[in-house]
């Protein structure tokens, strides 16, 4: 588990168990969480493909897009308490019908179909100063896995003798692949609680979280030249190509028209977030409680870095190999809202 890469957590966990020995009190919590997750990023373009090299539109003209997924999942947590110290581990998994927009992404005029799955794990330590104030700190990992297909069309133009641009033919393009977005964070928060009645308490927390966000993916970039039935030669005879003419240069060794590239990419960024939360705790008896909670995180990331490479799949474009590395205009943003109801039993 990536979250264990933070050595101070492992040390605390070991020392906690040694010092607590037989005096630890154990608890288990089960509940439901409503999670609204948002991911914002700019479409990736390495400047490859026949569409751009043969008069196609410029995909870089696309704008940054925000994707979101909303889902309700069961969550389970285990905790231990020893005096003023506490430790808990929480895990949740869920999925939704889509993450990024179904139209206009990654480029204007394109369509997208994806199936996201997300999981979250957190290790939480706490120290209680008195009946009202406590300090919470720990580590968090959130991972989103998305299988997707994107489809769009670029236009190849020719310029007439009078300077007028005409549509000659089209490039029908698909991206089929998988992308992951992985967040590893460290946080620190102050928590205040107070009694509303004998059995009802309220609490609030405010804190800071630093997170490393890495997105990576592999996909197949595939394009096929398609004739434009409405093309007009105007003053340039032969500017309109038939499908047979297009296929004469794009049919690969398998006999199937089109060009394909294998794409690998990775983006990384570091960000900060304010973490705020509110909640109510109802005490059923000394060993059983019900908690209603709300938490919000909104991250601001740095410019980030992109590493992208491509390699032609077919005989016709096998020599099309390259890579791009840059650290500008790589937008990565995250935010998440959590609404939860949890039942806890202490053994």
Report the pLDDT value the prediction gives residue 63, as an integer from 0 to 100. Answer: 61
Instruction: Name the percent of the chain lying above pLDDT 70.
Output: 83
Mean pLDDT of 311-339: 77
Phi/psi at 52 (nearest 5 deg)?
Answer: -80, -30
pTM: 0.78
Report the pLDDT value the prediction gives residue 122, as an integer from 0 to 100. Answer: 94
Report the pLDDT value the prediction gives residue 329, as an integer from 0 to 100. Answer: 58
Higher-confidence residue of 247 and 199: namely 199
Report d(CA 47, CA 56) in Å as an integer: 11
- List Cβ neighbours of 145 (8 Å cut-off, separation of 6 or more): 116, 117, 118, 178, 179, 180
Positive/negative CA dihedral, 41, 47, 49, 50: positive
- pLDDT tens track for 92-148: 999 998 998 898 887 778 899 999 999 999 999 999 999 999 999 999 999 999 999
Phi/psi at 234 (nearest 5 deg)?
Answer: 50, -130
Higher-confidence residue of 26 and 165: namely 26
Average pLDDT, the chain: 84
Higher-confidence residue of 29 and 300: namely 29
Highest averaged pLDDT of the listed ranges 60-74, 154-168, 331-345: 331-345
Per the DSSP assignment, residues forming a β-bridge with 140 are 122, 185
Q: Is 59 helix (H, G, I), strand (E, B) or coil?
A: helix
Higher-confidence residue of 334 and 143: namely 143
- pLDDT tens track for 207-226: 999 999 888 999 998 889 99
Res. 236 pLDDT band, cuts 50 70 90: low
Strands 65-82 and 25-41: antiparallel
Mean pLDDT of 162-185: 88
Report the pLDDT value the prediction gives residue 185, as an integer from 0 to 100. Answer: 92
Report the pLDDT value the prediction gives residue 341, as an integer from 0 to 100. Answer: 97
Res. 199 pLDDT band, cuts 50 70 90: very high
- pLDDT tens track for 269-309: 888 988 999 999 999 999 999 999 999 988 888 877 878 88
Report d(CA 269, CA 328) in Å as an integer: 11
Residue 46 pLDDT more than 80?
no
- pLDDT tens track for 1-23: 555 455 445 545 554 554 445 57
Residue 84 pLDDT more than 80?
yes
Determine which helix (DSSP H) or strand (DSSP E) holds 137, and give its type and residue range: strand 133-159
Token code pair at residue 237: 């005879």
Report the pLDDT value the prediction gives residue 58, as an integer from 0 to 100. Answer: 46
Report the pLDDT value the prediction gives residue 57, as an integer from 0 to 100. Answer: 44
Residue 338 pLDDT more than 80?
yes
Report the pLDDT value the prediction gives residue 233, as an integer from 0 to 100. Answer: 65
Residue 264 pLDDT more than 80?
yes
18, burial (CB in 10 Å: exposed 0-12, middle 13-18, buried 19+): exposed
């Amino acid at each position: 588990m990536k979250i264990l890469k933070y050595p101070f957590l492992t040390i605390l966990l070991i020392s906690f168990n040694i010092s607590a020995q037989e005096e630890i009190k154990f608890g288990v919590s089960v509940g439901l969480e409503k999670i609204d997750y948002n991911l914002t990023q700019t479409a990736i373009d390495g400047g490859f493909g026949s569409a751009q090299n043969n008069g196609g539109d410029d995909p870089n003209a696309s704008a940054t897009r925000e994707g979101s997924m909303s889902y309700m999942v069961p969550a389970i947590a285990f905790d231990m308490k020893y005096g003023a110290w506490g430790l808990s581990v929480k895990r949740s998994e869920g999925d939704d019908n889509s993450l990024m927009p179904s139209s206009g992404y990654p480029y204007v005029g394109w369509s997208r179909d994806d199936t996201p799955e997300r999981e979250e794990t957190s290790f939480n330590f706490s120290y209680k100063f008195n009946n009202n104030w406590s300090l919470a700190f720990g580590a968090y990992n959130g991972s989103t896995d998305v299988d997707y297909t994107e489809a769009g069309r670029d236009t190849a133009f020719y310029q007439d003798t009078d300077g007028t641009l005409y549509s000659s033919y089209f490039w029908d393009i698909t991206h089929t692949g998988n992308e992951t977005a992985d967040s590893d964070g460290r946080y620190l928060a102050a928590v205040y609680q107070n009694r509303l009645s004998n059995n009802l308490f309220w609490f609030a927390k405010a804190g800071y979280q630093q997170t490393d966000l890495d997105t990576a993916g592999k996909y197949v970039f595939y394009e096929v030249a398609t004739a434009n039935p409405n093309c007009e030669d105007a003053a340039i005879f032969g500017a309109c190509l038939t499908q047979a003419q297009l296929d004469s240069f794009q049919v690969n060794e398998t006999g199937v028209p089109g060009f394909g590239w294998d794409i690998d990419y990775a983006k990384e960024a570091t960000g900060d977030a304010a973490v705020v939360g509110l909640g109510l705790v109802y005490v059923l008896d000394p060993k059983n409680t019900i908690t209603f909670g709300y938490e919000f995180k909104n991250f601001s990331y740095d410019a980030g870095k992109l590493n992208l490479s491509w390699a032609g799949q077919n005989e016709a474009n096998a020599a099309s190999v390259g890579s791009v590395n840059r650290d500008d205009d790589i937008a990565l943003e995250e935010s998440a809202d959590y609404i939860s109801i949890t039942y806890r039993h202490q053994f």
